[in-house]
A and B are shown apart, each in its own frame.
Chain A
């Protein structure tokens, strides 16, 4: 059975249910029941019209639930009538679901969970596993999120930027366990790009594809991090890169530059270099300058200092770093790297050790400890 197809139908079927007048929370429950039923029935008896099948089953599930609950009489009256076709959709249903699930009234973790379930068609269990929390905890998070948004109007366009932030969060979570959140984020962003014509949606999709293309090369067989400069570039996924570059070029041609397009442009320049030494650092610095105009995110200036170090030498990089807030995560790691490039190995080793203590994840901590160890053992020789 094609689970991706099944999941890709989720938002449009959910949209149909909501347009028939069911409130969002009840529609979403019925939709989950229908998905579970599909997983059970489809392998032996695949439907000719999967979307029609899901809509019918979800609608019946909703009727059953409404009828079984006497307190929901008012809703029963509603469903006794022939289902209204609903108002002619002004905005695409799928798009509306994205807006609803990323609504600013939701916390980021709630928006992420609700998006994965209502738009992504994932089960609560899958989402709980991916985020390493108990299933009951995730179920609670999702039902609270549904309550928060269930009173909201479904037909008003929202802010694309909030949706993009949620998808970016999902992508950055990477993957743990069976569910590949990065791939899921790409699927959801692709689906979003199909429902709205927006250069930043394209920019984010390109950014994801370009980073995802490097994934296989990013970790060594023993699980340790491999930095960009040392990656085996023959292991990069050239198809994913080509697609990302094409999407990015089309977006840039519209001349409405945004943060994600600029980030994707930097990723594209890395992807374009046959070897690390051939990287066009001068152009990368220019893109960081663009990015700094678009956002006041201090991480941009930190990354810019690295790029300046490559383009104009480590001294220039250290000068650029001097203007950055030293409390930023990874500041010390960048300082260590630039001092190593500048030839001050003892200082670099000390800074790598310090950076390892400040690391916020194990892979990074191990990587930085290894860098310190590497320089310290050179010093002993």
Chain B
């Protein structure tokens, strides 16, 4: 088994095919989208491949250490050009092929006009623990 992180971006990735912001959809299209996402997560729980999923607020800040006795420096809000993560899902699957297959399904979630969004999702393998048997 291998763990993968599926990253969804507010911005920063290539544009989706059906790239209409959600507030321009109809309420029924929003409901259909939410249902698709819930069904997807429930199905992965059913197959024993779901690990975790969270959504992130678009607001945030950069923080860094500024030396002994000084408060950390913050830099925010984010610039409009910054790559911005909207949320993630962690899956634990048997193969890279399976991870790609699932990411493809998630990207097919319906959007405006009830048609798939075709949004770009970022798929990143976790660095794993070293194996017990190495030779």
Binding site for B on A (CB under 8 A): 222-224, 349, 352-353, 356-360, 362, 365-366, 369-370, 372-374, 376-377
Residue from B22, B35, B38, B57 in contact with A373 in the complex, judged by beta carbons closer than 8 Å = B22
Beyond known contacts A370-B27, A373-B30, A377-B25: 16 more, CB 8 A cutoff: A223-B38, A224-B31, A224-B34, A352-B23, A357-B58, A359-B57, A360-B57, A366-B34, A369-B30, A370-B30, A373-B22, A373-B23, A373-B24, A373-B26, A373-B27, A376-B23
Least Cβ–Cβ distance between A230 and chain B, in angstroms = 13
For this complex, 17 residue pairs linking A to B, each with C-beta atoms less than 8 Å apart, are A222-B35, A223-B34, A224-B31, A352-B23, A353-B21, A353-B23, A362-B55, A365-B55, A366-B30, A370-B27, A370-B30, A373-B23, A373-B29, A373-B30, A376-B23, A376-B24, A377-B26
Contact digits for B55-68, partner A, Cβ 8 Å, 1 yes 0 no: 10111000000000
| Chain A residues near B34 (CB-CB < 8 A) | 222-224, 366
Least Cβ–Cβ distance between B41 and chain A, in angstroms = 12
- The residue of chain B having its C-beta at the shortest distance from the C-beta of A362 within the complex is B55
Residue from B22, B57, B58 in contact with A369 in the complex, judged by beta carbons closer than 8 Å = B22
Secondary structure dominating the interface of A: helix
Residue from A223, A224, A356, A358 in contact with B23 in the complex, judged by beta carbons closer than 8 Å = A356
- The residue of chain A having its C-beta at the shortest distance from the C-beta of B22 within the complex is A369
Q: How far is the CA of A360 from the CA of B59 in the complex (A)?
A: 10
Binding site for A on B (CB under 8 A): 21-27, 29-31, 34-35, 38, 55, 57-59
| Chain A residues near B55 (CB-CB < 8 A) | 362, 365
Q: How far is the CA of A223 from the CA of B34 in the complex (A)?
A: 9
Pair B59/A222 contact, Cβ less than 8 Å:
no
Least Cβ–Cβ distance between B29 and chain A, in angstroms = 8
Pair A369/B38 contact, Cβ less than 8 Å:
no
Q: How far is the CA of A362 from the CA of B56 in the complex (A)?
A: 9
Least Cβ–Cβ distance between B118 and chain A, in angstroms = 20
Q: How far is the CA of A358 from the CA of B59 in the complex (A)?
A: 8
Least Cβ–Cβ distance between B89 and chain A, in angstroms = 14
Q: How far is the CA of A155 from the CA of B38 in the complex (A)?
A: 51
Q: How far is the CA of A262 from the CA of B62 in the complex (A)?
A: 41
Least Cβ–Cβ distance between A371 and chain B, in angstroms = 9
Smallest CB-CB A-B distances: 5 pairs:
A372-B23, A353-B23, A377-B26, A370-B27, A374-B27
| Chain B residues near A360 (CB-CB < 8 A) | 57
| Chain A residues near B31 (CB-CB < 8 A) | 222, 224
Q: How far is the CA of A227 from the CA of B121 in the complex (A)?
A: 33
Q: How far is the CA of A184 from the CA of B58 in the complex (A)?
A: 33
Q: How far is the CA of A366 from the CA of B24 in the complex (A)?
A: 13
| Chain B residues near A370 (CB-CB < 8 A) | 27, 30
Least Cβ–Cβ distance between B18 and chain A, in angstroms = 15
Least Cβ–Cβ distance between A77 and chain B, in angstroms = 48
